[in-house]
Structure 1
Amino acid sequence: MNIAKVTLLLSCSLLSVVSMAQQRFAKELQLLNTAIEQKFLITGKGYYREHAEKQKDDRAVSYLWPLCGLIQAANEQELFSGKRGTFNRVFKVIDKYYDDRPPAPGYASYPPPHGGGDRFYDDNQWIGIALLDAWSRTGDKDYLNKGKMIYRFMMTAWDTATGGGLYWEEGNLKTKNTCSNGPGILLAMQLHKATGDKAFLDTAVLLYNWVNKHLQATDGLYYDNISIGTHKIDQRKYSYNTGTMLQSSLWLYEATGNAEYFQNAKRMADASLHYFYSSGKFRDSYWFNAVMLRAYQHLLKHTEDLKYLQAFAACTRHALQHEKRADGLMGKGKADLVGQSGMLEILARLAFLEKKFKF
C-alpha cells in the first residue's frame, strides 16, 4: 500500500473518531431515553412511576415534579431531532394532573383521578416555561393559552408579606422561595415576548427586584428561601436557583436594553462556574443542573466565551463515565424519574449544541 493510501486511511479513521466524539451526547441521549421508557413508563396506563425500582413509600403513579423535567426534556429532544410527537405525549400525562379548584385552575402534585394533592407554584411554572418554549418553536396557540392559565394561577401566590414575592406551595404561608420566583420571572418574560403585554414585564421586574433584595448572596449566587414569620434566610445554594435568576437577567436585558441586567448575568455566571463546576463534577442533582444549563445556553446569544459550556460538559462527561448504571439509567443508588429527566434534558441540550460548538 502506498503512502498516499495510508495517509487517506489514517485521515478517514481520525475523522471517524472525531465524529464519534462529537456525537457522544446524541448517542447517550438515545440510550437514556430508551432506558427511561423501559423502566418508568407504566404500560397501558398513561402514567409514569416515581422510581425505577419500587420504593416502600411510592404511590401508584409519579408525582407531578418529575413530569416537569420530562416535558422540558421532550421539548429539547424535539428541537434536536426536528421530529414532533414526544412533547404532546408527555403533556397528555400532565393533563391528568389538571385541577380546577378555586381560586384558579392549575396542576396538582398528584393526579385528581388518583386522589389529588397539593399544588406547588414552581411545579406549574416549570410546565409553563416548557409550554412557552414549545409555543415559540411550533406556534401552537394551545400552549400559549395554557401558559397564560399557569401565570394566572401563579399570581395567586403573591402578597405583600416580606415586601412581595411568591409563595412556594398553595396554602402554605411559611416561606417564599427563589425556586417559585425565579421561574415565575421566566414565565412572565416569555409571555411578554409572546404578547407584547407590558403587564408581564412589570411582573417580572417586580419579582426580580424582590429576589435580589432578599435572597441573593454577596457572591452573586442565591439562597433557597426566606421565612415569612422570622425573616430568617435558608442559606442553602442550589444550581437551579442561580440558573433561573441568571436567565431572568438575560431576558430582562433583551427586553429593556439595560446593560445592568447583562452585568448581573455575567456576575452570576462567573460565580456559578466557580461554585458549581470547578471541581469537574456536579455538585447537586441532575435536574437542578439542567436548569442551569438553560441559562448557560441562553448566555451564548450574547458571548462567544465557551468556558461555561465547557465546564458543564466536563461535569456531564464525568457523570456518564462514573455514574451510569448497568441498566442505562444515571446516578448511584435508587433511580428516580426527576433525576433521569434532568439528565435527559442535559443530554438533549448538549447534543443540540455540539452540532455548532466544540466543547
Structure 2
Amino acid sequence: MLLSVFSCNSEPSIQDQMVDNPGDDGQNENPDEGEELSYKEKAFATYEMIQQLYKKGDLYKENFPEQNGDREYSYLWPYVGMLTAGNVLYELGYDREILDKQFTGLEEYYDNRDYLPTYQAYPVSGGATDHYYDDSAIVAMELINAYELTNESFYLERAKTVTDFIMSGEDSRMGGGLYWFEGQSDNCTNGPNCMKAANTSAYAAYVTSKMYQLTNNEAYLTFAKRVYEWTYTTLRDPSDNLYWNDINIGSEQINTTKWTYNAAMMIMSAVNLYEISDDQEYLDEAVTTARSAHSKFTKVTNGRIFYPPNDSWFNVELLTAYIQLSQYDSKTKDYVEVFKDNMDYAWENARNNEGQFYEDWSGNNEGRFYWLLHQAALVEAFGRIAIYENQ
C-alpha cells in the first residue's frame, strides 16, 4: 500500500507504510457535543464529513488540509477505505447511490492491460504507477462484499480478474509467500522491498478462501491453504503467535515489526478455512492469535484500555476480525467491547473542529488526522459495530 509521498520511482520501504508524523496541536472539541447518535448515525456523519472535506470530483484528496507533496487525488489505498464505507453504509440501509459512487470512482484506478489487469496505485489519468498485491487484495475484498450485497455479476467477475493478479505474486522463493508489489517481484535480488510479506500473503489467503466459498473453484482453496500455511510457518512468532512483517530475499532476515492488521488477516483467513474444512486447528489458531493480539497490542491510557495510538485503519481491520471470530468464540466479544469503548471515547474526545478524528483515539495526539484513510477507518468501525448490533 502506497503512502501519498511516494511515486512509482521512489521504491518505498514497507517499513515506511505507516509512520508516526504528528500534526500541529489543535483544539480538542467535539462538533456534535450533546448529540446522542447511534453507531449507524455516527458512521454516516463521518462519511458526510469526508464528503465535505476530501471529495474532489469522482475521487478524493489524499489529505485535508493538503500536505506537502500531495498529488491531485488520493492513492488507491485510502480510496479503498471509501469503498468499504460505501459497502457498509449500503448494508446499513443507506442509499445504494453511496455504494455506486465509490465503485464508479474506483474504475479511475483500473489498468486494463493485456496481461493480468488490475488496479494501480494512482489513477491511470496520472500516468503509470506500480501494482501492489496488497492493494489489489483489499480491492478484491470490497468487490466480493459488493457482490454479496448486490448479487451483481460484475463485482464477482472483476474480483476473479483481480484475484488472478494477486495469485501471480506468489512463487517458490523463500519457500513461498507473496511479494509486496509487482515491480519488486521475482527478478529482485536485494534491497528492502525485495521480500515476501505477511500482509500480502495473509490478504491473499483471505481473498482466495472467500473466492472458493463463492465459486467452489478448487484452485482458490489450494492456493489459500498453501499461502496461509507459509505465513503461519515462516512469519509467525512462536513466542506470542503474532506475525512478523516480512522476510527479505537477499539477506534472509526477518523484519520483526508486528502490526494489528497482519494478525487480523490471519484470523480472518483461518476462520474462512475453518468454515470450509471444519478443521478445528484453523479455528484454534485464530483464537490463539486473537488472544495474543488483545494482550500484546493494548495498553492502559487515560484509565482505559486502548489499541495502538497510531495506524487506526490497521486497528479497524482487527476489529473486523474479532467480529468475524466472535460467532465461534464468546471471549472475542469482550475484545469487540474494548473497541466500542475506544470508538465512543474518540467520538467525544479525539476530534477537531472539522470533525476529523485523531489518529490516536485516546485523544492524546492528533497524529495524521488529515489522512483520508484514518477518517475512512471510522466509517468502517462505526458501521461494523452497527451491523454487529443490528442497528
Q: Deviations over 1:88-116 (max 9, x none)?
A: 21111110111133531001101111123
- Distance in 2 (CA, whole Å) between partners of 1:262 and 1:333 is 36
Equivalence for 2:387: 352
Opposite residue 77 of structure 1, the aligned amino acid is L
- Distance in 1 (CA, whole Å) between partners of 2:247 and 2:115 is 24
Moved more, 74-83 or 124-133: 74-83
Q: Deviations over 1:318-343 (max 9, x none)?
A: 32233211111111144111111111
Opposite residue 161 of structure 2, the aligned amino acid is M
- Distance in 2 (CA, whole Å) between partners of 1:338 and 1:127 is 14
Are residue 85 (structure 1) and residue 110 (structure 2) matched? Answer: no
1:233 counterpart (250, 254, 265): 254
1:179 counterpart (199, 210, 215): 199
Q: Deviations over 1:219-271 (max 9, x none)?
A: 01111111011111111111111000001110000000100001001101101
Opposite residue 197 of structure 1, the aligned amino acid is N
Opposite residue 388 of structure 2, the aligned amino acid is L
Q: Would you say the 8 A contact 1:167–1:177 is kept in 2?
A: yes
Corresponding residue pairs, total: 334
CA RMSD of aligned residues (A): 1.6
Q: Deviations over 1:174-218 (max 9, x none)?
A: 011111111111110111011111111100000000001111112
Aligned in 2, Cα 1:115/1:161: closer, same or farther, shift over 3 Å? Answer: same
Structural mapping, 1:207-222, within 5 Å: 207-218=227-238, 219-222=240-243
Equivalence for 1:74: 86
Q: Would you say the 8 A contact 2:78–2:372 is kept in 1?
A: yes
Q: % of aligned pairs identical?
A: 28
Equivalence for 1:29: 43
- Distance in 2 (CA, whole Å) between partners of 1:93 and 1:344 is 18
1:242 counterpart (241, 263, 276): 263
Q: Would you say the 8 A contact 2:299–2:307 is kept in 1?
A: no
- Distance in 1 (CA, whole Å) between partners of 2:298 and 2:170 is 34
- Distance in 2 (CA, whole Å) between partners of 1:304 and 1:160 is 38
Moved more, 343-352 or 204-213: 343-352
Equivalence for 1:326: 353
Opposite residue 79 of structure 1, the aligned amino acid is E
2:296 counterpart (263, 272, 275): 275
Q: CA deviation at 1:31?
A: 2.0
Q: CA deviation at 1:282?
A: 2.8
Aligned in 2, Cα 1:333/1:165: closer, same or farther, shift over 3 Å? Answer: closer
- Distance in 1 (CA, whole Å) between partners of 2:113 and 2:95 is 35
Equivalence for 1:303: 329
Moved more, 104-113 or 296-305: 296-305
Opposite residue 39 of structure 2, the aligned amino acid is F
Equivalence for 1:204: 224
Q: Would you say the 8 A contact 1:242–1:268 is kept in 2?
A: yes
Opposite residue 339 of structure 1, the aligned amino acid is H
- Distance in 1 (CA, whole Å) between partners of 2:128 and 2:38 is 40
1:312 counterpart (325, 339, 345): 339
Q: Would you say the 8 A contact 1:281–1:316 is kept in 2?
A: no
Are residue 133 (structure 1) and residue 159 (structure 2) matched? Answer: no
Structural mapping, 1:51-62, within 5 Å: 51-62=63-74
Equivalence for 2:283: 262
Structure 1 unaligned segments of length 5 or more: list them: 1-19
Are residue 288 (structure 1) and residue 302 (structure 2) matched? Answer: no
Moved more, 283-292 or 236-245: 283-292
**SS of equivalent to 1:58:** coil
Are residue 343 (structure 1) and residue 378 (structure 2) matched? Answer: yes
Equivalence for 1:10: none
Q: Would you say the 8 A contact 1:31–1:328 is kept in 2?
A: no
Are residue 193 (structure 1) and residue 218 (structure 2) matched? Answer: no
Aligned in 2, Cα 1:278/1:55: closer, same or farther, shift over 3 Å? Answer: closer
- Distance in 1 (CA, whole Å) between partners of 2:328 and 2:95 is 28
Q: TM-score by structure 1 length?
A: 0.89
Q: Would you say the 8 A contact 2:39–2:385 is kept in 1?
A: yes
Opposite residue 210 of structure 2, the aligned amino acid is Q
Equivalence for 1:146: 158
- Distance in 1 (CA, whole Å) between partners of 2:97 and 2:71 is 28
1:118 counterpart (130, 136, 157): 130
- Distance in 2 (CA, whole Å) between partners of 1:263 and 1:197 is 26
Q: TM-score by structure 2 length?
A: 0.82
Opposite residue 200 of structure 2, the aligned amino acid is S
Aligned in 2, Cα 1:82/1:303: closer, same or farther, shift over 3 Å? Answer: farther
**SS of equivalent to 1:55:** coil
Moved more, 25-34 or 253-262: 25-34
